[in-house]
Amino acid sequence: METRAGYPFRWQCRRSGNCCAIPGGFVRVDAGEAAAIAAFLGLDEAAFRSRYLQPDGERLKDGLGNRCVFLQDGAPAGCAIYPVRPAKCASFPFWPELRDDPELSARVQRTCPGLEPLP
């Protein structure tokens, strides 16, 4: 299990897919990330942006049921772009908002089985 100073939980991915399906979340994608994901998917950047980014060009579109568009169902669940996933995804759950907002942290801990409150 991974821990980091200042965070009220420890983490180990259980590959449930729940963490990539938390309502109200979004993932920003910078230009370099968009280019890497497009190349990984074998798409040109314009096609990737049209298919997978919100009209603002900065956030991933939601997939089925407001989940991440790249979340693959199964047991275990997985990320279709794991090797090139955006930094926001790679750094989960060690986000300042989960460290600083006890309510949000508690909600995410209830949703994501890989997060355990520290004793």
Specify the number of domains making up the chain. 1
Structure tokens at 60: 């991933």
On whether residue 64 sits in a domain, the answer given is yes
Asked whether 68 and 29 are in contact (CB, 8 A), the reply is no
Residue 40 forms part of a structural domain:
yes
Residue 3 lies in a domain: no
Which position has the higher pLDDT, 106 or 40? 40
2 in a structural domain: no
Q: What is the value of pTM for the model shown?
A: 0.88
Q: Is 104 inside a domain boundary?
A: yes
- Quick check: is 63 in a domain? yes
Asked if the structure places residue 80 within a domain, the reply is yes
Residue 30 located in a structural domain: yes
**What are the pLDDT digits (tens) for 58-117?**
999 999 888 899 999 887 889 999 999 999 999 999 999 999 999 998 989 899 999 999
Tell me the residue range of the domain where 51 lies: 9-117
CB 108 within 8 A of CB 115: yes
Instruction: From 70, 98, 97, select the one nearest 85 (Cα to Cα).
Output: 70
